[in-house]
Amino acid sequence: MKSKIFRITYLAFIIIIFLSLLIFYFRKKERKELYSSLTDFTCIEIDGQINSTKNLPNYNGYALILFNPGCEMCQEEVEDFSNNSELFQDYCLLFLSPDSLNRIADFVKKYQIFQTDNVFYGYVDLDTINKKLGKSPVPGLFIFDSGKKLKKFTLAAEVDDVLNYFSE
């Protein structure tokens, strides 16, 4: 009697583990597909204009940099990008923050960040980030290829790292 109960319990335990692994696998696959591209969402640029990622011109790649104006690491990264702007002429750089538009504009002015056609600064709300990119930390860096497919996500990177991600 005890061995029969043990077998049933053991079999139920194995089935539960197997089903849990299947569910985990399919959720991970679904999440990867959901967040694997630069899907359409809107942001507000520092001049107040509403822009959509679907309206972005074609580039060799896209870098979405989530930042916080008060973050020292973000400040250093933006200065590094700005000092090496010529290296990113063929790429679109989206500097977006869930902070207030005024603080973002002050940040851009304070650091005299480069203003070119391929660089965008603006506000995006956390709900949009979570829905379109998954729960993403700020700062965060997303690298997309020319077809807007995700190539790499990292918390922070040097300019050379970003250029290497684009060329992978």
- pLDDT value, residue 28: 58
Interval 80-96: pLDDT, tens: 888 887 888 899 988 89
What is the distance between the alpha carbons of residues 150 and 39, in angstroms, rounded to a whole number?
A: 10
- pLDDT value, residue 3: 77
pLDDT above 80: residue 57 = yes
27-46 mean pLDDT: 69
Q: Please say whether the structural domain 42-167 has been given the CATH code 3.10.129.10.
A: no
Residue ranges with strand state E in 1-160: 42-45, 50-52, 61-66, 91-97, 119-123, 140-145, 150-154
Q: What's the chain's average pLDDT?
A: 81
What is the distance between the alpha carbons of residues 28 and 132, in angstroms, rounded to a whole number?
A: 15
- pLDDT value, residue 59: 92
What is the reported pTM?
0.74
pLDDT above 80: residue 2 = no
Q: Is-contact 144 64, C-beta < 8 A? A: yes
